[in-house]
Amino acid sequence: MATHGSEGASQTHGDEIPGELDATGRIFPDLVVPSLDDGPRTSTVIAMCNQKGGVGKTTTTINLGAALAELGRSVLLVDFDPQGSASLGLGVHPHTIEHSVYDLLMGSELSFDDVVISNRIPGLDLLPANIDLSAAEVQLVSEVAREQSLRRVIAPVRDRYDFVLIDCAPSLGLLTINALTAADRVIIPMEAEYFALRGVALLTDTINKVTERLNSDLGMLGVLVTMFDARTLHSQQVLARLLEVFGDEVFHTVIRRTIRFPETTVAGEPITSYASSSRGAASYRSLAKEVLVRCARQ
């Protein structure tokens, strides 16, 4: 795998050093990652959810998935957005795929193994999606237990994976309700910009309703601040506000704004392989450890 430079490698990652102040102004914890031999392996399904567009859901799904795979975890990424961005970001062109998550959702004859695509990154599998999925939003409406369709797709295979990460579309429609019904935990990525909190009440209300009515196992894993620019007062003010609203739900790891992420989409691979020693890669590795520690605690 080619490594294309190492932007940021020479900077200190001061916000991710245990015992030191991080970008959120808290002490970065000593993250003791559970060893792979610690007790029975459980499977955790995490939905990346925010109806606001362009906040880093897909970038987080791909790079958190790749970072968890580096730590020896087996990971399934579910592209659950008709835009097919997670597929594209892993080098799978949505218009070239023969079968997609849509076929499994609609109960076709195909099996999971007919649809799943393994990645050149060991331990990382993908259930791809393309524009076909937009029809599911309409077609599922008349199905019995329409909110549980994705849960039914994942249930028989979840034992094969330590983590299933679902990349949601920017909407709170039936597809996203399916993702939340299939999930154990939610990560809310939020861009460090002025309108970050717009629509958050509706999002938390939706999560609460799914928890009450459809999936009592659902819980919040954390709020991830993305596209943070430490040089601007504006970014810092938004981060401070998110901390006020969400407190310790905000991950210590903060993802900085860097051109490296759009580049990875073009390259069709995660930042952890595209620019392995970059700051962005280090941040997603740090997030992976936080996720492992939070999941072990809950």
Q: Quote the CA–CA distance of 126 and 118 in Å, as a whole number.
A: 6
The upper half-sphere exposure of residue 75, i.e. CA atoms within 13 Å in the direction of its Cβ, equals: 27
Q: What is the b/e burial string over 286-295, where b = at least 16 CB atoms within 10 angstroms of the residue's CB? A: bbbbbbbbbb
Q: Is 190 helix (H, G, I), strand (E, B) or coil?
A: strand
65 binds ligand ATP (CB under 6 A): no
- Give the shortest CB-161-to-ligand ATP separation in angstroms: 21
User: Which residues are CB-neighbours of 223 under 8 A, at least 6 positions away?
Assistant: 187, 188, 189, 190, 242, 246, 249, 250, 251
Which residue's CB is nearer to ligand ATP, number 249 or number 263? 263
Interface characters, 76-105, with ligand ATP (x: CB under 6 A)? -----x---x--------------------
Residue 264 makes contact with Mg ion by CB under 5 A? no
Given Mg ion, ligand ATP, none, residue 54, with its beta carbon under 5 to 8 Å by kind, binds ligand ATP
Least distance between ligand ATP and beta carbon 58 (Å): 3
Task: Tell the smallest beta-carbon distance from residue 184 to Mg ion (Å).
Answer: 21
- Is the Cβ of residue 130 or residue 226 nearer to ligand ATP in the bound state? 226
Asked if residue 74 lies in contact with residue 44, where contact means CB atoms within 8 angstroms, the answer is: no
Range in contact with ligand ATP (rule: CB under 6 A) among 65-73, 125-133, 195-203, 254-262: 254-262
Q: Is 54 in the site for ligand ATP (CB under 6 A)?
A: yes
Q: What is the SS3 string spanning 223-254?
A: EEEECECCCCHHHHHHHHHHHHHHHHHECCCC
Q: Is 130 a binder of Mg ion (CB under 5 A)?
A: no
Residue ranges of the alpha helices (H) in 145-199? 149-154, 174-182
Q: Per-residue contact track with ligand ATP, 98 to 137, x per CB under 6 A?
A: ----------------------------------------
The pair of three-digit structure tokens given for residue 50, joined into one six-digit string: 């925010």
Residues forming contacts to ligand ATP in the complex (CB under 6 A) are 53-59, 81, 85, 170, 226-227, 255, 257-258, 261-262, 265
Residues forming contacts to Mg ion in the complex (CB under 5 A) are 57-58, 85
